[in-house]
Amino acid sequence: MNKAIGITGGIASGKSTVVDFLMSAGYEVVDADKLVRSLQAPGGQLHQAIFEHYGPDFFDEQNELIREKLGSRIFSDDKARAELGSLQGKIIRANLYRLAEEKVAEKLKDGLFFMDIPLLFEQNYDELFDEIWLVALPEGQQIERLMARNQLTEAEARQRIATQLPLEEKIKRATTVLDNSGSLEVLQRQVQTALEKARNAG
């Protein structure tokens, strides 16, 4: 039976870099964000649910969800964020669990498969995984990267980071912590070490 490993980390922590390492090494990685985007596309389960709840103002002329507009709304409004989380939660969870069941039965490299889930802890997906890898870096670096990546002010970056579980809590719940405060080479060595442990653990 394959081993399921969850990969998570705060916004702009460098999680996608770890995913790139794994995929280039031939490992299967399920991207939860891509799954959500497919569900939010016209005809998807989430598209209809969001349209019914929020109305047409959050959709463009092609009936595509305007994610930036919805994101601005939920990041500045705790109630709206909770509503959206509840609205999407059951649908996303059911689809992720279905995917995990499928991957467990497939023939995969080293008997390992990964799921890239940004809000793994926040949405309590711990039970899905045999191991959880957390990509972490100091808040100062995280703020700088988020500001540069998303063209945000420091206040906006802090606001977005504050919507996620504090790093200290994530570290307590993670199986492995990958420190991304240094070079890419150092991060890659940590990934290789984590892979060896996962393979040898059986």
pLDDT in tens, 42-58: 989 989 888 988 889 99
Ligand-binding annotation for 16, yes or no, is: yes
- Second CATH level (architecture) for the domain 3-200: 3-Layer(aba) Sandwich (3.40)
For residue 52, the tally of other CB atoms under 10 A from its CB is 9
Decide: 161 and 122 in contact? Cβ < 8 Å.
no
13 marked as part of a ligand binding site: yes
pLDDT at 154 over 90: yes
pTM of the model: 0.82
Q: Is 17 annotated as a binding residue?
A: yes
Is residue 136 marked as binding? Answer: no
Q: Domain limits of the chain?
A: 3-200
Which pLDDT tens digit goes with each residue over 8-23? 999 999 999 999 999 9
Q: How far is CA 18 from CA 28, 82, 149, 177, 191, in A?
A: 13, 29, 17, 12, 7
DSSP 1: -
